[in-house]
Structures are given as C-alpha cells and as structure tokens.
Amino acid sequence: MNLAGLANMIVVVLRDEAWRRRRIRTGEIIECASFAELVTAPPLKGFGEDLKKVEALLKDDLEALRMFRAEVVAPQGQHHHTNVIKKAIQGNTRSYTLARLHKKDEALYRRVVAGELSVNAAAIKAGLRPRTVTVPVDDLDALAGTLHRLLGKRWQTFTTVVRSFKS
C-alpha cells in the first residue's frame, strides 16, 4: 500500500466513524472516544502515533486533510470530555487554512481540491489572507520598480506617503 492508499483508508475511517468501535487481533472489542484517541493511544487500543505525523502524511490529499482536522480539532468554545485533548492548530498551516476555507467559501474550497487553485490563492480570494509579495531590498531600483508595477494607480499615493516620512 502506498501513502495515497493510506490517506484513502483514513478518509473511510473518518467518514464511517470506524474509530469508535473495532475488533483487534486478540478478538477483543475496543472503543475509542475520538479519532484522536485511536491515533494516539498505545497499541493495541490505538496506533501510538503523533497527530502531527498523521497530518503530514495527508498533506497531498486536501479532502483527507480537512476531514482529519475537523475530527481532531475541537470546535471553538466546546470542551471535549475524552482523555485526548483537542488543541486547535492555527496560523497559516495548510490544514487550518483548508478548514477555514471550507467553512467560509465551499466553492473556492472545491476548486482547491480539484487542483484549480492553490490553497494560498483561494485564501486570498476568500479574504482569509492578505496578498503579499517578496521584494528585493538590496537593489533600490528593483525595489521601486517592483512596487511601481504592483501598486499601479496607487503608486502616486504611495510616493506621497513615503515623502511624508521624516528621516
């Protein structure tokens, strides 16, 4: 089995909630309170793995990554009474951005999953992330040229603001 097959298997386990109750190789029935418990509990109750490692395995399957995050991160303001604490992963991680995008704009999310847009481009279109650029700072002519090209009609306003700064 390759990693894509593993991602597909995780999607099925999440979708069907197969983590709740299963029979292990000893014949014993094991119940887990959450998918996170299944992943992190020591064998044979669970897999004894780190959630971040599993998330890293799913990085190329955007739908699996979103489903994983939805299951292992507690919704804001909710408390979970399990022995696995769900802590929100925030910032600019791919999974966090996908989860926010799925919640804010389903159409853009689907375009990302279909490979039509990058996660970053969709986040910018959805207003979740500002558009940023990298500019050369060691070459002032290149810096000014890049800013002039990017700012377009706003270039005049920008230069007025810059002139107003005191050295």
> Mean pLDDT of successive 10-residue segments in the chain (167 residues)?
82 93 93 94 93 90 90 66 49 84 94 94 94 87 91 92 84
pLDDT score, position 93:
81
pLDDT score, position 1:
72
101 shares its domain with 152: no
143 shares its domain with 108: no
Q: How far is CA 114 from CA 95, 107, 108, 120, 135, in A?
A: 16, 11, 10, 14, 31
Side-chain-side CA neighbours of residue 164 (13 Å): 6
pLDDT score, position 84:
45
How large is the C-alpha radius of gyration of the chain? 23
Instruction: Give me the domain span that covers residue 125.
Output: 90-132
114 shares its domain with 140: no
pLDDT score, position 118:
94
pLDDT score, position 92:
72
160 shares its domain with 110: no
pLDDT score, position 83:
43
Q: What sign for the dihedral angle of Cα 25, 28, 29, 33?
A: negative
pLDDT score, position 89:
53
138 shares its domain with 166: yes
Q: Which residues contact 128 (CB under 8 A, 6 or more apart)?
A: 97, 100, 101, 104
pLDDT score, position 90:
61
Helices (H) and strands (E) in the chain, counts: 9, 2
